[in-house]
Structure 1
Amino acid sequence: MSDDTRQMLLDTLERVLADHCTAERVQAVDAVGFDPDLWQVLEELGFTVAAVSEASGGSALGMADLCALLRLCGRHCAPVPLAESAVLAAWLLAGAGQAVPSGVLAFASANSRDLEITQQNNGLRLHGVLPRVAAARHAASVLVLLERDGQTQVTQLGPQDYRLEPGDNLAGEARDDLHIDTIIATDRMYRAPAGITAASIHERAALARAALMSGALERTLQQSLDYARERKQFGRALAAFQAIQQQLAILAGEVAAACAAVDHAALVADFGVATDEIAVAKIRAGKAAGLACRIAHQVHGAMGFTQEYSLQHATRRLWAWRDENGSEAAWARQFGRRLASAGADALWPLTTASGTAVAD
């Protein structure tokens, strides 16, 4: 994609989100965590199939461009599941050779701990619980990734296939448990695109989450800077106090580091395996989130904790998102194991060279 086309997409999404994600509107839909009017606009403009191939009616954007779009969504605290529906479910469904329906698609990756999969007659019996599925209550169907007998398959579940138990994360976004006891006919099972595994989808989801976090971090920084310039204490703007300046400098550094890590991981992911880069991006975004929320609320004081003030739209999302798709602690353990198993000869290239792959 040319730089001009990329900028046109970003500018278009920026205008849409600026119009639809005012503080008042985000607060108004906070109880349900989803804005159907905004989703309809995004669908009409093609953003909901941005990751889908052109042959399937999409824009075929790579991860670098998708992460740029998600950063805008995070910056505006957009109450729509664009990451889960467009970057994961629609992309995977189109890659499996199936038409992408309109509306929200939810996504879940099943494992043997949560879902029992057994052969029955001419299909598979699925029994168990898929926990905390994002936006399931807003979706017409849920795309489920299954690994069985060395094969990766996907299937679509409709409301008739599960009982939904509503749940929310700290930001008020839907994280629903799906209680499943159904038989899926073989014609509803589709082979996943080549190279797709539960691990690779987990990495893609983590990178998308980190991109959203980088946008929310930028918003937190900007709101803190604006407040420090405008708010006066003892006849001086807060920004004139050295202690406030120091904290804002730390916040700015954390935001810059997280954004750089996400950008780098997205670029590497467009050209191949980016397991280590994605691990670093999610770790860095999680660490920045903890510091950013603390500093931002300290700068704002009591005002920042009020429901009427929009800082909480970003910080609640950061608190929720840092633990989703793998916390920084989980990714740090995985990354540490890879470093430890690489051996002395591979350690230096692995820690200094971009895109270096090490077999698990």
Structure 2
Amino acid sequence: MSDDMRQMLLDTLLPVLADHCTAERVQAAEAGGFDAGLWQVLDELGYPLAAVPEDAGGIGLGLADLCALLRLCGQHCAPVPLAESQLAAWLLARAGLDLPGGVLTLAVTTALQTLQPGATGLRLTTNLSRVASARHADGLVLLAEHAGARYVVRLTTDELGIEPGNNLAGEARDDVRIDTTVPPARYRRLTQGPDAAELEARAALLRAALMSGALQRVLQQSLDYARERRQFGRPLAAFQAIQQQLAVLAAEVVAAAAAVDHAAVLAGHGPAPDAIAVAKVRSGKAAGIACRIAHQVHGAMGFTQEYSLQHATRRLWAWRDEAGSEAVWARRLGQHLAAAGADALWPLTTGSGAMAD
């Protein structure tokens, strides 16, 4: 995609988010984290289909451009499951299944009680935990792996048993029970294309992109507050200790964004699970440091419900554990490095094709 087209998409999205993601509206969406009005506008503009190829009715964005859009969403704490819906629509298109429209969510599972194709359809029985916005979705797209077989399945809401739950940021994270037979038109067996590991990595990258946007918001709010708030006759920003902490915060934000951008570029040319692992680990580490500094700079004000800093920091605390925590991705990264052997350590960690299989 050309730079002009990318900029047009960002320029179109920015005022939409600015208008709809005010502190009052984000706070109002707290119970379940969904703003139907914002979703309707995004849907009309085609953003939920941003990752779907143009010949399948989408915009055809690559991962780098997609991450740029999601960074804006994270920066505005947009209370909609846009990343999940984009990834679900992309998976449907890859499987050659119809795109139903509306809000989609996504799940990956290798733990199934039943996954059995038959004359009337695919018999499917499983439990899913903490599915993003299942109760707000019009459909759930499931990548299921079982006994060497891999299926993409589109489920409707009436096929789901939903137990509502929320994460720390008030976003819907619902437990789902599936016990149904899915007709042939709504599932495909994959012989090539994304497997569970690739889809989990892609979800982690999109989550890290959202985190990098929320980190930018935390930094900007902290800078603004330090300039405006006065103590002992001077702005907080005039104190050397505050300046030092803000410099650390800024460095963490830049490091996380750079890791996400690097992983997005590599993953846009092929599987890059280790670069994505670095991005998710680095974003999670930055989140912990940034939230601590931001709340120290703000003092008691930052913890109040009326002040919007908590919209970003609570998302960062929640998102660092979603799509794989730092520990999960660091373990995968370490296992790959260990398996590659001592002679491969240096080229793997310094090469431009870092960690590619």
TM-score, length of structure 1 as denominator length: 0.96
Partner of 2:350 in structure 1? Answer: 352
Partner-residue secondary structure (3-state), 1:154: strand
1:130 matches 2:128: yes
Q: Which residue of 1 aligns with 2:244?
A: 246
Alignment partners' CA distance in 2, 1:195 and 1:102: 22
5+ long unaligned stretches in structure 1: none
**Residues 219-230 of structure 1: pairs in structure 2 closer than 5 A:** 219-230=217-228
| Preserved CA contact (<8 Å) 1:92 1:193 | no
CA distance in 1, matches of 2:308, 2:318: 16
Instruction: Tell me whether 257-266 or 29-38 shows the greater mean CA deviation.
Output: 29-38
**1:132 Cα shift?**
0.6
Read off the aligned partner of 1:117 and give its amino acid letter: T
Question: 1:192 & 1:307 partners in 2: Cα distance?
Answer: 47
Offset at residue 121 of structure 1 (A)? 4.4
Inter-partner Cα distance in structure 2 for 1:12 and 1:39:
15
Residue deviations 1:207-264, cap 9 Å, x none?
0000000000000000000000000001010000111111000000000000000000
- Give CA deviations for 1:298-354 in whole Å, capped at 9, x if unaligned: 000000000000000000000000000000111111101111111122111101012
Equivalence map 1:285-296=2 (5 Å): 285-296=283-294
Distance 1:344 1:120 in 2: 45
User: Is 1:119 aligned to 2:116, yes or no?
Assistant: yes
TM-superposed deviation, 1:130 = 0.7
- Superposition pairs for residues 29-178 of structure 1, below 5 Å? 29-86=29-86, 88-112=87-111, 115-119=112-116, 121-122=118-119, 123-178=121-176
> For 1:231, which of 219, 226, 229 is the aligned residue?
229
Partner of 1:189: 187
User: Does 139-148 or 251-260 show the bigger shift?
Assistant: 139-148
Superposition deviation, residue 120 in structure 1: 6.5
In structure 1, what residue type is equivalent to 2:302? G
Q: Distance in 1 between matches of 2:36 and 2:25?
A: 12
Q: Which moved more, 1:94-103 or 1:250-259?
A: 94-103
Which amino acid in structure 1 is aligned with residue 331 of structure 2? Answer: R
Deviations 1:118-139, CA, capped at 9 Å, x for gaps = 4374243322311111011111
Is the contact made by 2:275 and 2:354 (CA closer than 8 Å) also made in structure 1? no
Deviations 1:66-113 (A, max 9, x none): 000000000000001110001x1001111211221221001111222x
1:107 partner amino acid: L
> Secondary structure at the residue paired with 1:341?
helix
- Over 3 Å counting, the alpha-carbon distance change for 1:251 and 1:356 in structure 2 is closer
Per mean C-alpha deviation after superposition, the further-off stretch among 22-31 and 206-215 is 22-31
SS in 2 for 1:206: helix
* One-letter amino acid of the counterpart of residue 14, structure 2: E
Greater shift, 92-101 or 223-232, is seen at 92-101
Q: Structure 2: which 5+ residue stretches go unaligned?
A: none
Structure 1 residue 287: Cα displacement: 0.1
Aligned-pair distance for 1:141? 1.0
In 2 relative to 1, CA 357–233 (structure 1 residues): closer, same or farther, beyond 3 Å? closer
TM-score by length of 2: 0.97
SS of alignment partner, residue 98 of structure 1: coil
- Report SS of the residue matched to 2:113: strand
User: Do the aligned partners of 2:155 and 2:186 also contact (CA within 8 Å) in 1?
Assistant: no
Query: What letter matches 2:280 in structure 1?
Result: K
Partner of 1:267: 265
Q: How far, CA to CA, are the matches of 1:100 and 1:258 in structure 2?
A: 33
1:195 Cα deviation (Å)?
2.6
CA contact under 8 A between 1:164 and 1:178: conserved in structure 2? yes
For 2:77, what is the secondary structure of its paired residue?
coil
> What amino acid maps onto 1:76 in structure 2?
H
Matched pairs, number: 356
Distance 1:193 1:237, change over 3 A: farther
**What aligned pairs does 1:12-31 form with structure 2 within 5 A after superposition?**
12-31=12-31
1:204 counterpart (202, 205, 219) = 202
Distance 1:238 1:334 in 2: 42
Deviation at 1:192, TM superposition (A): 4.0
CA RMSD of aligned residues (A): 1.4
State the alpha-carbon separation in 1 of the partners of residues 177 and 51 from structure 2.
29
State the AA in 1 paired with 2:21. C
Identify the range of structure 1 (158-167 vs 118-127) with the bigger mean alpha-carbon deviation.
Answer: 118-127
CA distance in 2: counterparts of 1:120 and 1:4, whole angstroms: 46
Partner AA of 2:5 in structure 1: T
> Equivalent residue of 1:127, what SS?
strand
Secondary structure, counterpart of 1:324 in structure 2:
coil
Does the 8 Å CA contact 1:128/1:180 hold for their aligned counterparts? yes
- What code does the residue aligned with 2:94 have? G
Tell me if the contact between 1:154 and 1:190 (Cα under 8 Å) persists in the aligned partners: yes
